[in-house]
Structure 1
Amino acid sequence: MSGGGGVLGAGSSYHRFVHSAMEQTRLRTALAPHPSQEKFKCIKANDDSTVFGALSFSAPKVRLLRSLTIEKENSVQVLDFAAFSEPEYDLPIFCANAFTSPVQSIVVLDLNPLYDITLYKDYKEKYFRNLMPLIQKYSELLPWGGKITSESLRFFSPVVIWSIFEPTEQNHHVLYSALMDYYKVWLELADQAIKENDASKIAHNREAQHRYLTWRAEKDPGYPLLKKLIGESHAKDLVTEFLFEGVNSLGSKSFLDYFPEYARDDGTVNKKRSMIGKSFETRPWDADGEFIGGDDAG
């Protein structure tokens, strides 16, 4: 992958994506400001060279649609964009995370399954059987980013894009196309989603989303950067009340309730990253979306 450009031009694709994604959403549904928008719309960094942009909305089927961008002049640019359905729907979670420095861009783009698709085959059939052309289109243009552990894979789908590449204009044009293609697919799934009326299934969906939020809030790889830019207290608020809003309201279980394997002897959470499971050098799903991890696992 090659081409001209650099970090400043590359980062502009993140703002372009946010703008286009919001336009696409408004064509399909009515957006209303989410309660978190007012609190976080004016985030101030500790330095004058960093600019935050935060947007959050809700819609008839969407509990939270939110976007965070960070620009640090001549340094880093960040995108964290996600969409969560109301618990009456079992939609996958749209997740786009991108970090660009002058030397590389690191990207995770996925429709995170609400349920483990190695166990819930019907869920995989419902949402992912017809999505494999997405990854077939982009797997060569945005190749697998190298070793990743099964810990990180636990919420990924077979169509996940995990890639590290040079931040050129050409490469970020490809990334923009991927971001828009994936988001349009999520919007189509939301359009087609049928409201669940079974209270037990709604509760199951709510707990599954809360489990995801609890994991992400605890394991957020961007937290150290946020803490550096806005301080620990503000960073914690941003993670729990904006990025993963719902972690304190959708359920009452703790991280260790969901993931007891991370408990230390004193009852605290083991903070070490990537401590559990095999690691995978290459994409651990085949062209049909079947998990084939094992051959090159270490």
Structure 2
Amino acid sequence: MTTPPAPPQPCSLDPVVLDGWRWAPFLDHAVEALQRFHPVAYPVEEPFLRQEGATGSKANPVPVTTATWACSTDKLRQVRAACVEAGNAASVLNFVINPSSGFDLPFFGADLVTLPSGHLIALDLQPALKTDTQHTSRVWERLMPLWEHWQNFLPSGGPIPTEAEPYFSPGFLWTRLPLGDPGDDLIIKAVFPAFVAYLDLYLQLVREADPVDDERRQDLLAGQQRYVAYRAEKDPARGMLTRFHGVEWTESYIHGVLFDL
């Protein structure tokens, strides 16, 4: 007689501890907000839960930690955070919510990156089917007021590549900020409340979402697969992670954890 598998464990309210990690308040808020959806742990293989490495010179190495937190709910296939802390070299939170194809929902995406050159900030509710107004119009009419408000406080990050446009909404909040002031001050006064507002809207859409029929599910799944394939191919963190942890680990992490659909 075989032993039945253990039930999934609830997600921890204290998922990632990285010394000196500036993005901890953002992930802590997201994890707390998700608890109302009764999340369970999403399976992540042991080598990708926490990986230690180093960067810098042999004479003066800088320790690096990359940690992963992931959960799922009945409407969200995978919610995951990739967290990197490498001292002055990098501090990163890449937080993505992948909806189930059984519900007509966009992706939630947040990239919060600190590098020696400054802070790179990106927030969006990203469409799976950008040209499908049934998928986008009800989202964008509620997202655009948030974008219009918060972009007044933040400088534009510049144009995005033409090939990326199908995977971003018109409410894509994208900025570059300097290290120190005023950049650090804007992270507290504008970036964090914008993150909260975008996530609150997304979770409201999740609460409102009803199941779709099989035909619509297949259309959404195809769109999600295109999105995930693009993100895996163009992941801007590939070079950084390769320097920190090597090619084999990085490619397995990108394709098997970050973008695993």
Q: Normalization by structure 1: what TM-score?
A: 0.74
CA displacement, residues 223-278 of structure 1 (integer Å, 9 cap, x when unaligned):
011111110010001101111121xxxxxxxxxxxxxxxxxxxxxxxxxxxxxxxx
CA displacement, residues 180-212 of structure 1 (integer Å, 9 cap, x when unaligned):
11111111110110011x211111111111111
2:187 aligned with 1:187: no
Question: 2:126 is matched with which residue?
Answer: 112
Measured in 2, the distance between the counterparts of 1:204 and 1:243 equals 22
Question: 2:217 is matched with which residue?
Answer: 202
In the TM superposition, what is the alpha-carbon distance from 1:147 to its structure 2 partner?
A: 3.2
Measured in 2, the distance between the counterparts of 1:240 and 1:103 equals 28
**1:133-212 map, 5 Å:** 133-167=145-179, 168-173=183-188, 174-196=190-212, 198-212=213-227
2:33 aligned with 1:19: no
Measured in 2, the distance between the counterparts of 1:236 and 1:206 equals 23
Question: 1:4 is matched with which residue?
Answer: none
Contact 2:69 2:82 in 1 (8 A): yes
2:175 aligns to what SS in structure 1? strand
Q: Go from structure 1 to structure 2 and tell me whether the alpha carbon gap of 1:93 and 1:10 turns closer, same or farther (over 3 Å shift).
A: farther
Q: Normalization by structure 2: what TM-score?
A: 0.84
In the TM superposition, what is the alpha-carbon distance from 1:75 to its structure 2 partner?
A: 2.0
More strand by share: 2
Contact 1:37 1:55 in 2 (8 A): no
In the TM superposition, what is the alpha-carbon distance from 1:122 to its structure 2 partner?
A: 2.8
Question: 1:220 is matched with which residue?
Answer: 235
Measured in 2, the distance between the counterparts of 1:218 and 1:166 equals 28
In the TM superposition, what is the alpha-carbon distance from 1:101 to its structure 2 partner?
A: 1.9
1:45 aligns to what SS in structure 2? strand
Question: 1:64 is matched with which residue?
Answer: 78
List runs of 5+ in structure 1 lacking aligned partners. Answer: 1-8, 247-298
In the TM superposition, what is the alpha-carbon distance from 1:126 to its structure 2 partner?
A: 2.2
1:239 aligns to what SS in structure 2? helix
Q: Go from structure 1 to structure 2 and tell me whether the alpha carbon gap of 1:172 and 1:46 turns closer, same or farther (over 3 Å shift).
A: same
2:50 aligns to what SS in structure 1? coil
User: What do you get for the CA RMSD once the two structures are aligned?
Assistant: 1.8
Match for 2:110: what amino acid? Answer: A
Contact 1:10 1:172 in 2 (8 A): no
Q: Go from structure 1 to structure 2 and tell me whether the alpha carbon gap of 1:237 and 1:171 turns closer, same or farther (over 3 Å shift).
A: same
Q: Go from structure 1 to structure 2 and tell me whether the alpha carbon gap of 1:129 and 1:37 turns closer, same or farther (over 3 Å shift).
A: farther
Among all aligned residue pairs of Structure 1 and Structure 2, give the percentage whose two residues are the same amino acid.
Answer: 26
In the TM superposition, what is the alpha-carbon distance from 1:109 to its structure 2 partner?
A: 0.9
Question: 1:130 is matched with which residue?
Answer: 142
How many residue pairs were aligned? 233
Moved over 4 A (4+): none
Measured in 2, the distance between the counterparts of 1:94 and 1:160 equals 11
List runs of 5+ in structure 2 lacking aligned partners. Answer: 1-18, 56-61
Measured in 2, the distance between the counterparts of 1:228 and 1:94 equals 27
CA displacement, residues 113-152 of structure 1 (integer Å, 9 cap, x when unaligned):
1112xx3223222221122111111112122212322222
2:111 aligns to what SS in structure 1? strand
Question: 1:81 is matched with which residue?
Answer: 95
Measured in 1, the distance between the counterparts of 2:20 and 2:142 equals 31
Measured in 2, the distance between the counterparts of 1:102 and 1:217 equals 25
Measured in 2, the distance between the counterparts of 1:200 and 1:103 equals 47
Contact 1:112 1:156 in 2 (8 A): yes
In the TM superposition, what is the alpha-carbon distance from 1:10 to its structure 2 partner?
A: 9.6
In the TM superposition, what is the alpha-carbon distance from 1:217 to its structure 2 partner?
A: 0.4
The one of the two structures with greater contact order (alpha-carbon pairs below 8 A, sep at least 6) is: 1
In the TM superposition, what is the alpha-carbon distance from 1:44 to its structure 2 partner?
A: 2.2
Match for 2:42: what amino acid? Answer: H
